Structure 1
Amino acid sequence: MKKNFPFLIIFLTVLLASCGQKDELTAKKDELAKLKKEAADLRNAIESLEKEIGVLDPEFGITNRKSVLISTIKPEKIHFEHFVEATGSVLSKKDVNISGEVSGRVQEVLAVEGMRVNKGQVLARIDAEAIQRNIEEVEKQLELAIIVYEKQERLWNQQIGTEIQYLETKNRKETLEKSLAGLKTQASKTIVTAPFSGNVESVLVRTGELVQPGTPLFHFVGESDLFIEADVSERYLGILNKGDSVDIYFPSVKENFRTKVSAVGGVINLNNRTFKVEVFLPYLQFAKPNLISVLRIKDYENPNAVTVPNYLILQDSKGDYVFTVENNVTKKRYIKRGMTYKEITEVLEGLSGDEVLVDKGFREVGDNFSVNIAQ
């Protein structure tokens, strides 16, 4: 027991020293918290007093307010243009169904879907055997009728025979000639050809099928006479006219070009309150019927417009305003806005274009705020 007594004394000494250090640290923390609270209360009291004095003395408020770090821009004087945007589709005036004109069985189909053909190229053949037999029969009858007519004509020229005999033979010959011409025309219609150059979109008939006049055989689209049709809101009726310039953009192929309005509809659609606008489309290799396009039609322009970015325009009960900077102090400037297109707004009144506007930090300032301009 006596041997362990010195170690016990050392242990108790270390323990007491440790407890003393913890008490001192706790006291310092408590003191720090107390001072922070006093400092916060003091700051609040100072700010409250500054606000009260600022209300009574505006100049004091300006000089004592903390400066806000901002960046600035100037209004732009540009040639401002406003466009009406509408979605349209490419259509073709030569989008047709080619139908059969005679009765018969399809003998041969030469066209396939997606095939490009020229005007007059054969697409299909219909069996013409019955028509051909009729042609041969009428040709023999006509051959005899011509012989009889020629003999009767010689006799009539010699004043032999009656006039009625001459006229009957002449009439029979002419009737057979017309019948033969009709049969040949009918026979020509058994060969189905392309009415104009274009593409075979779909084949609607098969070899061996029996068709009648009017039976659709092919869906055919010409490669010319394409146009774009779009629905435009009735609010622009009277603003858009034939001949107006139009910018066209095709989102699918990322192509654009400029053309003109070729026709403006005069009837309002009751369902969506729009009217039709037709735009001329020149030949474009990528243009296909039903291709989506975006039309940008200019309806307003100002060659000397003062403009500002949309995001800088704020509103209150009095109207629209922006913040300008004069001698490192912000000023609330009320404006009258005009047309807006994309990210730019035209300013009709309130700005001359020579002012300096608050850009970054415009939401952190107010009227008569002291500011520092970032370089």
Structure 2
Amino acid sequence: MKRIVAAAAAALVLAAVAACFVYWDTVRSWLPQEVAAVLGAETEDGGGERDRSAVAVRLAPVELATALDRFETSAEVTAAEAVEITSEVAGRVETVLVEDGQRLEKGAPVIRFDDASEQAAVNAARAALAEAEAALGRSQFLFEKGVATEARLETDRAARSTARAELEAAQARLEDRRVRAPFAGEVGFVAVDEGAYLSPGQEIVRLKTTDDLRLRFDLPLEVAEQAAGIGALRLVSGPEGCRQARLLTVSPLGDPTSRTRRFEAALPDGCDLTPGAFITVAAVTGRCPEAVFVPHKAVERRGFESFVFRAEETDAGLKARRTLVKTGVLTGRRIEIREGLDEGDRVVAEGLQKIEDGAAIRPAGEEARR
């Protein structure tokens, strides 16, 4: 009987041990990879001191790929010609002949001042000219008959010339009371109302061309040097049929405050855009066939510095070395590293918040098993 009880007890112990192993495998499969890797490493090597102190991180190798030097920025749509039409005379506005957004032909009237006195002056000058011409006609007739002297004839001729000049001056003053569009375009903003009194130089309307549109944008000086040689820009957010612009001018000097240079490009005919709108433009300024790329999450920025944690092989195992880098273009989930890394390097792609310079690290997850 005692043997049977002992055998049963031994069987129960073996079953309990087997159940513990099954339970441990099940629990470990539920744990995050980093935790499972740490626990597994301690179990397999007896809890070595070096593995227990190393932080599990995901490492990523440096990749070589072609990098395109490009820029993308916001540009303002402007009119090639845009002016503020101002008053050249003082007076009260009698009629406003345009409204915001109206398209005008060259010479179309914009406003008309109260011109009663100027109109009266024109009528008087016209009557005076008619009288002077009649007097000259009589003098000419009498001179031909030998009755009037040549001096009288010359006096009447001078009087007619004076009357004609006075009429032209009166007509010019009357025309000054009518403000006209200097070129064909679109009224952007009417700044006056009927009945308002204007002084010389006061703004009346803003007029801009609509058939010759430009793009204006600023680029940092380091980008502007490369962009100055491009011929065409791609319109990222332009309407259908309006996907490119031609670079026209680049300001020769940069703005010392913003450290930028001004660019101007011409839009193709037929672009359905309005001055004052903003669109995104882009262009490729160069390419590097063997550029260094790393995951963008591997780069941290503090102030004006960018750095990565490079995995360094040492006698004591892998160490994380904080390495300053100079970044380039961002392509998808990768970022170009222009200085600081070389082919063959590996960087910490995940787990940066858990380490510091010189920390012991080890690969986590699938990479650790490889």
Question: What TM-score, normalized to structure 1?
Answer: 0.60
Please tell me the root mean square deviation across aligned C-alpha atoms, in Å.
Answer: 5.0
TM-aligned CA distance change 1:298 to 1:282, over 3 Å: same
Contact kept, 8 Å, 1:94 with 1:224, in 2: the verdict is no
Report what 2:172 is aligned to.
Answer: 185
Point out where structure 2 has 5 or more consecutive residues left out of the alignment.
Answer: 1-11, 25-38, 52-57, 300-307, 312-324, 352-360
* Structure number with bigger Rg: 1
Following superposition, the deviation at residue 265 of structure 1 comes to: 0.6
Following superposition, the deviation at residue 83 of structure 1 comes to: 1.2
Q: State how 1:1-375 maps to structure 2 within 5 Å.
A: 43=43, 45-46=45-46, 48=48, 80-153=67-140, 165-241=152-228, 244-250=231-237, 257-283=243-269, 286-301=272-287, 305-306=289-290, 309-311=293-295, 340-343=329-332, 345=336, 365=363
Q: Name the count of aligned residue pairs.
A: 299
Deviation digits for residues 51-91 of structure 1 (CA, Å, limit 9, x no counterpart): 8xxxxxxxxxxxxxxxxx99999865x6x532133333222
Which stretch has the larger CA shift, 282-291 or 229-238?
Answer: 282-291
- Counterpart of 1:43 in 2: which secondary structure? helix
TM-aligned CA distance change 1:184 to 1:284, over 3 Å: same
TM-aligned CA distance change 1:154 to 1:295, over 3 Å: same
Report what 1:326 is aligned to.
Answer: none
TM-aligned CA distance change 1:320 to 1:370, over 3 Å: closer
Deviation digits for residues 114-136 of structure 1 (CA, Å, limit 9, x no counterpart): 33444444433322221111111
Contact kept, 8 Å, 2:298 with 2:350, in 1: the verdict is no
Following superposition, the deviation at residue 162 of structure 1 comes to: 6.2
- 2:74 aligned partner, one-letter code: T
TM-aligned CA distance change 1:215 to 1:70, over 3 Å: closer
- Counterpart of 1:310 in 2: which secondary structure? strand
Q: Distance in 1 between matches of 2:153 and 2:169?
A: 25
Following superposition, the deviation at residue 50 of structure 1 comes to: 11
Point out where structure 1 has 5 or more consecutive residues left out of the alignment.
Answer: 1-23, 52-68, 323-335
Q: Distance in 2 between matches of 1:147 and 1:47?
A: 127
- Counterpart of 1:178 in 2: which secondary structure? helix
TM-aligned CA distance change 1:218 to 1:70, over 3 Å: closer
Deviation digits for residues 94-150 of structure 1 (CA, Å, limit 9, x no counterpart): 332223344443222232333344444443332222111111111121112223334
Which stretch has the larger CA shift, 168-177 or 339-348?
Answer: 339-348
- 2:131 aligned partner, one-letter code: L
